[in-house]
Structure 1
Amino acid sequence: MIDNFQNHAANERTFLSWIRTAVAVAGFGILIEKIPDVSPALWTGQALVGLSALLVILSTLRFLATRGQLNRQHSDGVLFGWIEVMFAMMLALLLATLFVFLLRLVQ
């Protein structure tokens, strides 16, 4: 039996949910690029695809850091601080991109 199996399984489920979110954001970005005759659609779609790639990188770093801490059975709170801040900044940038796109779409 794997030590701390429930914790490892929860870590993997969290990682997969972030990957699923990144795929959805990328798909939404591709969908926005396909909108005809909308000037901000190209850069907005590219920004969303780029942000989804960043989301995959950050979620992978968080998954690996958590897995290492579970294997060592030691919690290093300092490591989690910057990863969560990066997640929050990335999500804020994502929302700002969508807000600007919708604002320009209405005009």
Structure 2
Amino acid sequence: MIDKFQDHASNERTYLSWIRTAIAIAGFGIVIERLPGTPNGTWTGLALVISSAALVALASLRFIFIRRQIERSDPGRSMFGAIEILFASMLAMLLLTVFVFLIGLARGG
């Protein structure tokens, strides 16, 4: 049995859920970009795809950091709060991007 398997499995499940979220955001960006007659659809789609790539990078950093922390059994000093603030701000920017797109869609057609 792997030492601290439960902790490692939990960390991996969290990582995979962030990856699924990023894939869904990228897919939504591609759909928006391909919609005919949408104002600023290309820029909104591109922003969502780039944001999803940044989300994958942040999720990967978090996964590696937590994995090292589990292996060292060091629950002390961590930058976990900073990573969570980055995740929250990234999701807020994604929601703002979608909101701006929907307002533009309502006004432009």
| TM-score grouping bracket, smaller chain normalisation | over 0.9
Deviation by residue 1:14-43 (Cα, 9 ceiling, x = unmatched): 101100110110000000000111121011
Aligned counterpart, 2:64 = 64
Which segments of 5 or more consecutive residues in structure 1 lack a partner in the other structure?
Answer: none
Deviation by residue 1:54-88 (Cα, 9 ceiling, x = unmatched): 00000000000000000000124531011111101
Which segments of 5 or more consecutive residues in structure 2 lack a partner in the other structure?
Answer: none
Tell me the amino acid that sits aligned with residue 34 of structure 2. K
> Quick one: percent identity of the two aligned structures?
57
Aligned counterpart, 2:44 = 44
Aligned counterpart, 2:53 = 53
TM-score (norm 1): 0.96
Tell me the amino acid that sits aligned with residue 29 of structure 1. G
**Matched pairs, number:** 107
Structure 2 Cα separation of the partners of residues 34 and 77 of structure 1: 46
Tell me the amino acid that sits aligned with residue 27 of structure 1. G
Shift of 1:104: 0.6
Over 2 Å off, 4+ runs:
none
Shift of 1:10: 0.5
Structure 2 Cα separation of the partners of residues 37 and 67 of structure 1: 46
Alignment of 1:81-92 (within 5 A): 81-92=81-92
Please give the secondary structure, in 2, of the residue aligned with 1:74.
coil
- Output the aligned Cα RMSD: 0.9
Aligned counterpart, 2:79 = 79
